[in-house]
Structure 1
Amino acid sequence: MLERRFSLGPWGEDELPAVLEDLAGADQPKKFALCEVDRDGDKVAAARIYLWGLDFCRAPGGDGLGAVFVSPHGWMGNSDSAEGALECFSLIRDLRLVWL
């Protein structure tokens, strides 16, 4: 579950920005991109972004978000993980997973 709470308060308004920054940074998702590669023989002729994503690291058998993604063309989806999205879309495209 994404919900995480700190119970070390109370905090004053001047302390709150740092507390919220720590909270948001503690469980932040990992950013990734799937990049499509066009080949000309054994050389790479072109490359482009196929989709951008956030991987929330779903535990095996867990019910968390996994990975969510959006393409530059506006379609969106989700997968168990960034690697799962790569496996799925690599069936139809020559893709590489890039962690950002």
Structure 2
Amino acid sequence: MLERRFSLGPWGEDELPAVLEDLAGAHQPRKFALCEVARDGDGVTDARIYLWGLDFRRAPGADGPGAVFVSPHGWTGNSDSAEGALECFSLIRDLRLVWL
């Protein structure tokens, strides 16, 4: 069952792939990464990907199922949002949120 439906009328089988592509594109999650930076004094000396994720809220403050993420080391998790993941992990790491 589709969570959100398009009411564009009946489609022929040849039109269905384009309609489904439009549907999926209109509701795709936003990709993000949390990047960890290493510092030496005031300068950044290195950076790496801390985790990759998908935010299903579509916009800051919007409703939605939240965000899911995976680290390059294989652990996975979820958060209310990409910003929520940043807030949580920034307690233990120097991270930046990058929207892709």
**TM > 0.5:** yes
**Structure 1 residue aligned with 2:98:** 98
**Structure 2 residue aligned with 1:12:** 12
The Cα RMSD (Å) is 2.6
Number of aligned residue pairs: 100
Are 1:58 and 1:81, in contact at CA under 8 Å, matched by a contact in 2? no
Tell me how far 1:61 sits from its aligned partner: 9.5
User: Residues 42-86 of structure 1, C-alpha deviation per residue, up to 9 Å, x if partnerless?
Assistant: 111100000001111189998742011111111111101100000
Residues 45 and 55 of structure 1: CA distance in aligned 2, closer, same or farther (over 3 Å):
same
TM-score where L is the length of structure 2: 0.87
Cα distance in 1 for residues equivalent to 2:43 and 2:16:
52
Are 1:69 and 1:76, in contact at CA under 8 Å, matched by a contact in 2? yes
Cα distance in 2 for residues equivalent to 1:85 and 1:98:
12
Flag structure 2 segments of 5+ consecutive residues without an equivalent.
none
Cα distance in 2 for residues equivalent to 1:62 and 1:14:
35
Cα distance in 2 for residues equivalent to 1:4 and 1:34:
30
TM-score where L is the length of structure 1: 0.87
Comparing 8-17 with 73-82, which one deviates more in the overlay? 8-17
Residues 99 and 60 of structure 1: CA distance in aligned 2, closer, same or farther (over 3 Å):
closer
SS of residue paired to 2:21: helix
Residues 99 and 40 of structure 1: CA distance in aligned 2, closer, same or farther (over 3 Å):
same
